[in-house]
Amino acid sequence: MTESELAAIVGRPIPGGTYTIEPYVDWLLNDVVESPRDGKVAHPLFAYISVAVGKGVSWDEVFAICGATAADGPMFGEHETVLERPLEVGESFSVSGEFVSAERKRGKRTGVFDIVGFRLALTDAAGELAASTYNSIVFPRRDA
């Protein structure tokens, strides 16, 4: 991927979709992380799970947009979650997002790599922002 192709990723929308916090999935997650469950308020991890599953593209498709495959060894970079309010069990959300940054870097030992960032928003049925995430992925560029 050239640096101009990399720069063109910024502003590209992520298709998005929907996600519902199903009661049985909330139960399973709380059981795994040994968290108390009240059946009303969903575990905060659902902010990430909801956008990751509901983003409308697979991880392989995200990698392809960024000129890579899973075999190239992309690595999870930064992550930030902002909860605007508690998420509720049984609640359905719309997911939307876009790529917000793309930067090529060079390291002495690591060589050339790209860091691509994207934001995803979780919007409730009333159109209000319930949560958002920022993620970056580090793509090694062995051939650059």
pLDDT of residue 144: 60
pLDDT in tens, 119-129: 999 999 999 99
d(CA 38, CA 53): 23
Band of residue 142 on the pLDDT scale cut at 50, 70, 90 = confident
pLDDT of residue 93: 98
Nearest to 119 by CA among 63, 84, 81, 87: 81
- Distance set, CA 135 to CA 35, 39, 93, 117 (Å): 25, 29, 19, 6
One DSSP character per residue, the chain reads: --HHHHHTTTTPEEEEEEEE--HHHHHHHHHHTT----SSBPPTTHHHHHHHHHTSS-HHHHHHHTT--GGG--EEEEEEEEESS--BTT-EEEEEEEEEEEEEEEETTTEEEEEEEEEEEEE-TTS-EEEEEEEEEEEE-TT-
Band of residue 131 on the pLDDT scale cut at 50, 70, 90 = very high
pLDDT of residue 6: 95
pLDDT of residue 122: 98
pLDDT of residue 38: 85
Q: Is the C-alpha dihedral spanning 18, 24, 29, 34 positive or negative?
A: positive
Q: What is the mean pLDDT of residues 84-91?
A: 97
pLDDT in tens, 93-106: 999 999 999 999 99
Q: What is the mean pLDDT of residues 104-118?
A: 94
Residue 116 confidence (pLDDT) above 80: yes
pLDDT of residue 14: 96
In the chain, the percentage of residues whose pLDDT exceeds 70 is 99
pTM: 0.89
Question: Which domains are seen in the chain, by residue range?
Answer: 3-140 (3.10.129.10)
Residue keyed to tokens 């793509």: 139
